[in-house]
Amino acid sequence: MIPLLVNFGGFVPLSTVDWPGRAVCTVFLRGCPARCPYCQNAPLLAGEDRRELDEVAAMIAGSALVVSAVVFSGGEPTMQGDALVALAREGRRLGLAVGVHTNGAYPDTLARLVDEGIVDHVALDIKARWERYPNLLGADLTDRVKASLAFCSGAYAEGRLPEFEAVVTLFRGYEDEVAAIAREVGEVSLVLQQGVTESVTPLSFEELTAIAERLGRSCRVRTRENGEQEYEVDRGRWAAGKRQG
């Protein structure tokens, strides 16, 4: 039998930022169909570092005593569907919760993970209004991302996906897009995440919280300086304390 190979991008044995509230290990997988100009992991968009599945699984096992979950990121981890499913199974075998960070380009892979019951948390990156997607990503993935949003929203509502959040990485100059995105994601948990790039001054925590308060719905704000804080719209105030990433 030909061994299953993983196009490997890196491994962090202990992270407290990739799944707020949990200590996790993080596996990065190479490859992505998008070419977002602000990508923080641009070296992982292409290239090859083929590893046998057992080698990557051993890395996860080596962290299993000190973490409660494994997160798969990239690149775009769902691009390697067979490898991701196999590694998620291994994480589950080790007793770990499984999280995936995704741009939503491969809804079929997300469906495989959910249908098999081997994913606990999906963070779907919603990058902009749908009209801007083709130019921003350098590829027309809009319908695929919409399909991922619809599928994960439905699976979460049905209880088949324990945690699902839509993450908007927000850059200065695009603040007016948030309201439209919030309408698109509906009742899904919404996160406004500080976008960081060398060419533009990042939005501050105060600026992001002001945007959140105008939405008329509960959401969370994440920044490097302040970690994560939740706005409770029904109480009209920020929740006490901050969840530090």
pLDDT for 143 equals 96
Mean pLDDT of 132-150: 94
Is the pLDDT at 40 greater than 50? The verdict is yes
Q: Report pTM.
A: 0.92
* Mean pLDDT over the full length of the chain: 91
> What are the boundaries of each domain within the chain?
5-238
pLDDT for 242 equals 46
**Beta-sheet pairing, 227-232 with 219-223:** antiparallel
Over the stretch 171-202, which tens digit does the pLDDT of each residue have?
998 999 999 999 999 989 999 999 888 778 99
**CATH classification code of 5-238:** 3.20.20.70
pLDDT for 56 equals 98
Measure CA of the first residue to CA of the last residue in the chain; give whole Å.
42
Dist. CA 50–CA 137, nearest whole Å = 26
Mean pLDDT of 157-167: 97
Confidence of residue 122 (pLDDT cuts 50, 70, 90): very high
Dist. CA 198–CA 133, nearest whole Å = 22
The first and second tokens of residue 199, run together, are 């060419």
Dist. CA 73–CA 205, nearest whole Å = 25
Q: Which residues contact 146 (CB under 8 A, 6 or more apart)?
A: 130
pLDDT for 231 equals 73
